[in-house]
Chains A and B, each alone.
Chain A
Amino acid sequence: MESKKGATKSIALAGAWRLENLKDIQEAAKQHPWPVRVDTPLIIDGRQLEQIDTSGALLLFQLLGGSSAKNREISLVNFQENHQRIITLVKEHLNDLNIAPTVTPFNLIQKIGRSTVLFLQQLARLISFIGQSNVESWRLLRHPQTIRWKELVVQIQRACLEAIPIIMLVTLLIGVVVAYLSATQVKQFGANIFVVDGIGIAMCRELSPMIVAIVVAGRTGSAYTAQIGTMKLNEELDAMITLGLSPMQVLVLPRLLALVITLPLLVFIGDLVGIFGGLIIARTYLEITTVTFISRLQEAVSLQTFLVGIAKAPVFAAFIAIIGCRMGLNVENNARSVGMHTTSTVVQSIVSVILLDAVFAVLCVQLGI
């Protein structure tokens, strides 16, 4: 891979000018002055050249001054035919070599403006999506015969039945933890029995609806986005529209309806299991018998408290389902987009569940419930 410079503007190539040797050739080339002036004709001798590939030829022209070598008078002598062909091919493409990719400089104001517009567009689209699903829901209620029962039942099975074990595990642990922590406190005052009030009200009114909604957002909401998004990638949505089916009716409404029916049921299970967790702690640490626990529970937790908790569930469910489906329909035509939208669904759903819970808390206080 030695390159020698002749007395007049002529050079001779030797060795293997191949991709794996580029680094060494470049190092070696620094030892020699290269005839880079484009206005002088150049003769390249290839008698000793063993191998050359397009990468080697590219380096040769880079050493000879880059794309300006294109119009230089270069004669190739003593080359093997295939070597000459490769060098000629690369020479034809020299113009394209040093095109730098267009890099837009970082501009804070532009970024802020862009993301504000994007946010507003997203918001507008969300509102129109909510409107659209309302219209379709009304139509469904007026013509209940168009409900897709099979799809609805399948969705209920996936979102409800298959979620029961994880919901039970999570709410049981939350019940145990809350009861245990309050048990150590109430013990100091001898107010053991009030742990029943604490766990009953906390579980029914706040903890169970919120924890269950968060688990469902992570479990079902993300599944909605991934599923609908993949269908979109696979052009299944386009096929559906072509067949005269509306994705809204076939995909979104059954999921929305399924989750609105399902979440209150799951919250109820969460209430029971969470209180059961409290019962375990009450029996083992506070010497409260099961009978005492249950009779105290009936006094402490009013029907109203229980209903407030259950009533939040459908609202949470509607938000989770709408966010999940909308993000799925928004997926762009690549695999990365599915992942990004799924993450976004989970984040958006959890944030909106917590926000809604805060709204409910304020409303209940203001309304005196």
Chain B
Amino acid sequence: MAATTTNTQEMPVIEVNGLQTRFGSQVVHRNVTFRVNPGSIVAIIGESGTGKTVLLKEMIGLLQPAAGSISLFGTSTREAPEEDLAAIRNRYGVLFQNGALFSALNVGENVAIPLKEQSNVPNELIAPLVNLRLSLTGLSPTIRHKMPSDLSGGMRKRVALARALALEPELLFLDEPTSGLDPINARSFDQLVRTLCDTLGLTIVMVTHDLDTITGIADHLLVLGQGVVLADGSLEEVKKSDDPWIRAYFSTRNFS
């Protein structure tokens, strides 16, 4: 994994500073500050309702925070002009919780959409590129003509991952990547994410509840709670925290 970051001068991929979020009178984030370094898998965890998904949506620009700054690849997403934002959007991919595949398009068309709309790839290369993405996510390209409604939950997530990878992003956001998958599928999805991170040098930010994912593949943990970042560090560091929620969280399972 270290080798993937050889020629990046440790500029953080994501930098969030003093983020505040309110819905009406309800304060979700009081002061959230953290940074994500390239080439690592970062898991955002926290109690339900602590605004993990909200934070993810703010990072990808679907929601606007009340105050604070978010920078992706060194560009502030709240101040940059639309052209810069469009360029940044092509540098990250998002895997939504239920895949969010376009139900009117088949699998191949779903994966081809970013290539057709956002790149100048010659037409004859689109089919092999789509096949490669599907193959990389562990699917057989023979399912290209299937409709999303004909796929199982696990396959849908893999297709969605293939679509997120279509434009060769450097950064990948995953919202609950293993929710709704059986343990075997979930672990193989974890391994897939790990492999992609290591071979392609991706930076991965995910919101998850899955302890096995956290202990298995995450390099770095970010614990949200009470509107701030409660803990920020590797698994070992975070486990030493004396915050009651973090202790309760990790005591749900005995680590041998």
Contacts and interface: CB of A to CB of B under 8 A. Distances in A.
A93 B142 CA distance: 14
Interface in B117-160: 119-122, 125, 127-129, 131-132, 134-136, 140-142, 144-145, 147-149
Given A18-B168, A81-B3, A332-B149, A97 B121 contact: no
B87 to A, nearest CB: 10
Contacts of A58: 125, 128-129, 132
Contacts of B127: 98, 100
A20 B142 contact: no
Given A81-B3, A96-B140, A101-B145, A55 B134 contact: no
Nearest to B198: A85
A330 interface: no
A99 B6 CA distance: 35
A102 to B, nearest CB: 6
A23 interface: yes
Given A54-B200, A58-B132, A336 B125 contact: no
A68 interface: no
A23 B121 contact: yes
Interface string A329-369: 00011111100000000000000000000000000000000
A185 interface: no
Given A58-B132, A98-B128, A334 B141 contact: no
A93 B127 CA distance: 14
Contacts of B131: 96-99
Interface in B191-242: 198-201
B125 A22 contact: yes
A80 interface: yes
B216 to A, nearest CB: 21
B3 A82 contact: yes
B220 to A, nearest CB: 20
Contacts of A85: 198-199
A20 B120 contact: yes
A26 B125 contact: yes
B51 interface: no
A82 B148 CA distance: 34
Interface in A88-109: 89-90, 93, 96-103
B149 A23 contact: no
A62 interface: yes
Given A19-B168, A62-B128, A334-B149, A86 B122 contact: no
A43 interface: no
B199 A335 contact: no
B211 to A, nearest CB: 27
B33 interface: no
Contacts of A101: 108, 142, 144-145
B172 interface: no
A23 B142 contact: no
B150 to A, nearest CB: 9
Contacts of B144: 99, 101
Nearest to A338: B103
A53 interface: yes
Interface in A58-99: 58-59, 62, 80-82, 85-86, 89-90, 93, 96-99
Q: Dominant SS at the B interface?
A: helix
Interface residues of B, number: 33
B174 interface: no
Interface in A302-352: 332-337
Contacts of B201: 82
Interface in B57-110: 103-104, 108
Given A100-B127, A336-B104, A22 B148 contact: no
Nearest to A90: B132
B103 A335 contact: yes
User: Quick one: which of A18, A22, A102 has the most chain B CB within 10 A?
Assistant: A22
Contact of A97 (B4, B103, B132, B167): B132
A97 B119 CA distance: 20
B168 A53 contact: yes
Nearest to B146: A101
A53 B142 CA distance: 24
Contact of B121 (A55, A334, A337): A55
Contacts of A334: 103, 147-149
Interface in A238-289: none
B244 to A, nearest CB: 36
Contacts of A26: 122, 125
Contacts of B140: 96, 99
A112 B103 CA distance: 26
B133 to A, nearest CB: 8
A243 B217 CA distance: 41
Contacts of A19: 119, 121, 167-168
Interface of A: 18-20, 22-23, 26, 53-55, 58-59, 62, 80-82, 85-86, 89-90, 93, 96-103, 332-337
Interface of B: 3-4, 6, 103-104, 108, 119-122, 125, 127-129, 131-132, 134-136, 140-142, 144-145, 147-149, 167-168, 198-201
12 contacts: A53-B200, A54-B132, A82-B4, A82-B201, A85-B198, A85-B199, A93-B136, A96-B140, A97-B132, A97-B135, A103-B145, A334-B149
List 9 tightest A-B contacts by C-beta distance, closest first: A96-B135, A334-B103, A334-B149, A93-B135, A53-B168, A101-B144, A99-B141, A97-B128, A336-B104
